[in-house]
Amino acid sequence: MINTLLVANRGEIARRIFRTAHRMGMATVAVYSDADAQSPHVREADQALRLGPAAAQESYLAIDKVLAAARASGADAIHPGYGFLSENAGFAEAVMAAGLTWVGPPPAAIRAMGLKDAAKALMIQAGVPVTPGYHGENQDPGHLAAQAEAIGYPVLIKAVAGGGGKGMRKVEGAADFAEALGAARREAAGAFGDDRVLLETYVARPRHIEVQVFGDSHGQVVHLFERDCSLQRRHQKVIEEAPAPGMSPEVRQAVCAAAVRAAQAVDYVGAGTVEFIADASQGLRADRIWFMEMNTRLQVEHPVTEAVTGQDLVEWQLRVAAGEPLPLRQDQIVLDGWAMEARLYAENPAAGFLPSIGDLEHFVLPDAVRVDTGVEAGGTVSPHYDPMIAKLIAHGPTRQAAARRLAQACGEVQVWPVRTNAGFLARCLVEPEFLAGDVDTGFIGARQDRLTQGAAPSDRVLAAAAQGLLSQAPVAAAEPEGPWGALTGFRLNAPRQGRLRLYRDGGAVEAPLDDGPLSADVLIDAAGAIVVFEAGEAYAFSGTPPLAAAGEGPAGDGVVIAPMPGKVVAVAVKVGDAVTRGQTLVTLEAMKMEHALSAAFDGTVESLVVAVGDQVSEGAVLARLAQAA
């Protein structure tokens, strides 16, 4: 058995693994970058060792530093978590060469499934159906464009290495192919160090179905049923569930059997996920479900499988890595109820899901569901890593019960001043089509405006904000107009009447005055803003009109600024170029994703302040446009 386990990861991933390791009596070792020195995972481990600066390449991805930490700590095993080095065959080999136990699949299996084109060829040999497309070696842009024409638009460009939606682009027509190919290659190279791509036919109503598989070193392979991960935005999962809605026993048997064959084809050991794409235009049918890829690691969404099977998958990993057989036979693994997981991201859905960074002055998560998180109140959301700050997992006897519990939990999230997608998640979970199980990967995109913008603040929110403002400065908060404006507190045997003017997002709103108890949770932040929390949203108000920031021009002045700290990875124009509204000007990489900044109107590029490779801070000017005459 393992005595001391080093987890080569951070945040909620490390904390999740520590939880099981401690229960099993193992000592634990954390590693951390400078950005994570005060993180909870560092405090919770029995030992913690610094790897290096904040940049992942100089810390969490530095194999020599991780191995040095293992030697210094006396660890006898390394768990890679999920992400970072978890699917790096070279890292697995280095761990084993150092005489340590590798908690993961064999390096040969990682390599076999790590390149999507080679994996699909292997799956064809194993009798596993694969998505039609081009998986060849020729990476010449002209050849790829010709293959896309042969497949027929729309097509998907996908990175040969990696996953998680990085290096993936949908292309509607030939005119868009070159730009999409360039963006996909840049993102793939940055995320995986490999810019090769493959092409696939685009499925009009795709469902993302994946099967949890497990193998041991004694030749046994089992599945723990399927998950549905179809609710996505920008090809990244948002809400996952188990089992998949609309999955008949016959189709489940076919898909899970195909997943087991896939694992057996590479002599798989440990936890893995076989991902399929299903054409949902005629419901889930066995002949319309194709292999996409295999993730040779534990997945972010593994808690929903744990909830419906009653198994601890990290414990399975640790036991298998120690040479033990699988804890259960296939006929002993049963489904119980329904589970859903929502990924709570530090991002602003109303601003195109731009990542939100900063200090977590106020951070309250629900306590009625399972919560896996790597941050806490008083901590910081850094620009250096993934923007997911927590996972909320609900289990119930039925799909509707699980959805209700999870929607309520998302509505109870309170985070400030960092923005989150909690309200967006809550709205997704109560959509009638979602509750009916009518989902596909285009679900969010088809309802983008309604789901992302949310509702205007209700009278309940406004009344709570007014009470919060009056509790700060009753006289200053009064309406300025009229001789009686300062007498909002004056009344004889009657409740307070009238309305109070507040300011939100630069505009004025009228709030009803209410003497009753506070009807919503109210926070007065360090800057004096009144923040009201309702249904997962954080509404911020002020009693005075906001002042324009220094150097800030009027709307539409042509100044292109960085919405967050990041690295400039592409500049698509040069000074003097004529541009049209919506045309991409500069592409910024931040928090592991690319963000295209576009022209707000038709005009001419007047100046460019940055070049490819520049690191920029939030609010930095990147370019200026002159409006067309």
Give the model's pLDDT for residue 366: 97
Stronger pLDDT, 422 or 590, i.e. the higher one: 422
Under the banding of pLDDT at 50, 70 and 90, the label for residue 492 is: very low
Q: Which residue has the tokens 């949770």?
A: 521
Q: What is the mean pLDDT of residues 446-465?
A: 88
| CB 270, CB 104: distance < 8 Å | yes
Amino acid identity for residue 567 in this structure: K
In 3D, which of 434, 445, 375, 374 has the Cα closest to residue 406?
434
Tokens describing residue 246: 């609309």
Strands (E), 91-203: 101-102, 133-134, 155-159, 169-171, 197-201
Question: Which of 37-41, 388-392, 511-515, 517-521 shows the lowest mean pLDDT across its residues?
Answer: 517-521
User: Catalytic positions, please?
Assistant: 297
Tally of CB atoms within 10 A around 603 = 20
Q: CA–CA separation, 128 vs 588, rounded Å?
A: 39
Q: Which stretches of 218-317 are assigned E, i.e. beta strand?
A: 221-233, 236-242, 270-279, 289-295
CA atoms of 235 and 218, how far apart (whole Å): 36
Say if residue 496's pLDDT is above 60.
Answer: no
Confidence of residue 454 (pLDDT cuts 50, 70, 90): confident
Please say whether the beta carbons of 420 and 346 come within 8 A.
yes
Instruction: Please determine, for residue 481, whether its predicted confidence score (pLDDT) is greater than 60.
Output: no
Share of the chain above pLDDT 90, in %: 69
Q: What is the mean pLDDT of the chain?
A: 90
| pLDDT tops 60 at residue 551 | no
Q: Which domains does the chain have, with CATH numbers?
A: 4-103 (3.40.50.20), 105-130+208-336 (3.30.470.20), 132-201 (3.30.1490.20), 340-454 (3.30.470.20), 459-541 (no CATH), 559-627 (2.40.50.100)
Q: Which residue(s) pair with 208 in the sheet?
A: 277
CA 208 from chain center: how many Å?
16
Choose from 310-314, 449-453, 490-494 the range with maximum mean pLDDT: 310-314
| 528 vs 106: CA distance, rounded Å | 55
User: How far is it, in rounded angstroms, from Cα 620 to Cα 604?
Assistant: 20
Give the length of the chain: 629
Q: How much is the pLDDT for 536?
A: 95
Tens of pLDDT along 242-277?
Answer: 999 999 999 999 999 999 999 999 999 999 999 999
| Cβ–Cβ < 8 Å for 445, 408 | no
Tell me, what's the pLDDT at 519?
Answer: 66
Would you state the pLDDT for residue 566?
81
Is the pLDDT confidence value at 123 over 90? yes
- Confidence category of residue 556, pLDDT binned at 50, 70, 90: low
Is residue 608 within 8 A of residue 573, CB to CB? The reply is yes
Q: State residue 499's pLDDT score.
A: 76
Report, as an integer, the average pLDDT of 204-226.
96
The per-residue pLDDT for range 362-382, each reduced to its tens digit, is 999 999 999 999 999 999 998
Per-residue DSSP letter, 267: T
In angstroms, the CA 607 to CA 596 distance is 18
Please choose, from the candidates 265, 266, 289, 269, the residue with its C-alpha nearest in 3D space to the C-alpha of residue 279.
289
Q: What mean pLDDT comes out for the span 166-185?
A: 94
Rounded to the nearest 10 degrees, what angle do helices 63-73 and 89-97 cross at?
A: 30
Contacts of 460 (CB under 8 A, 6+ apart): 519, 520, 534
Mean pLDDT within 548-565: 61
Task: Give the CA distances from residue 463 to residues 13, 153, 513, 629, in Å, rounded to whole numbers and listed in that order.
Answer: 40, 52, 6, 47
pLDDT digits (tens, 9 = 90+) for 239-249: 999 999 999 99
Structure-token pair, residue 568:
């400039």
Apex CA 311: angle with CA 309 and CA 315, to 5°?
A: 160
Predicted local distance difference test score (pLDDT) of residue 484 = 38
CA distance 84 to 78: 13
Amino acid, res. 70: A
Of residues 355 and 207, more confidence is placed in 207
**What pLDDT is recorded for position 534?**
94
- 514 vs 98, more confident: 98
Please list the residues that pair with 233 across neighbouring strands.
Answer: 236
629, 609 in Cβ contact below 8 A?
no
* Residue closest to 587 by CA, chosen among 192, 180, 199: 180
Answer with the residue of higher pLDDT: 328 or 190.
Answer: 328
pLDDT number for residue 362: 95
Here the tokens at position 521 are: 């949770």
Give the angle subtended at the CA of 316 by the CAs of 275 and 29, to the nearest 5°. 105
pLDDT at 491: 44
**Using 50, 70 and 90 to split pLDDT, how confident is the model at 554?**
very low
